[in-house]
Amino acid sequence: MEVTSLRLSRLLPILPVVGIPLLAVAIVLYPAEPLRPRDLHAQPASYVPQQMVAVAEEGKTFHDPKCSYIHGKPVMTTAEDAVKKGYVPCVRCMRKLLKRK
């Protein structure tokens, strides 16, 4: 037991010197995966409005709260959070947010 703690105590001073560069290399080689829309064929928003929108947990789009095309039980969230979670604008009620080709 004393031998193991002796070895560990010898490694602790160099751990920050070796560990931080290894972490940096790991971040460069394996960056975080970019967010993908829930529907790969949907058009992403050209900008994110500062408003509350309605989403359905099982849905793929975010809607104006008054939209009649919401499928499922709507949950209110900010448009920014909806985009971060992969939701895309409804083509009917959020048409103004779609990118123009």
For 63-81, how does the pLDDT look when each residue is reduced to its tens digit (9 = 90+)? 999 999 998 999 999 999 9
What ranges do the domains of the chain cover?
1-32, 52-97
pLDDT at 38 over 90: no
Closest C-alpha among 97, 8, 9, 6 to residue 53: 97
12 vs 83, higher pLDDT: 83
How does residue 95 score in pLDDT terms, banded at 50, 70 and 90?
A: confident
Q: Which two tokens stand for residue 36?
A: 């993908």
CB count, 10 Å around CB of 9? Answer: 9
43 vs 69, higher pLDDT: 69
What's the confidence (pLDDT) of residue 17? Answer: 63
Q: Which two tokens stand for residue 58?
A: 């099982």
How does residue 2 score in pLDDT terms, banded at 50, 70 and 90?
A: low
pLDDT at 91 over 70: yes
Share of the chain above pLDDT 70, in %: 50
Say whether pTM exceeds 0.85.
no
Report the C-alpha gap between 2 and 50 in whole angstroms: 61
Instruction: Taking the CA atoms of 23, 35, 65 and 76 in sequence, report the sign of the dihedral they define.
Output: negative
Amino acid letter at 65? P
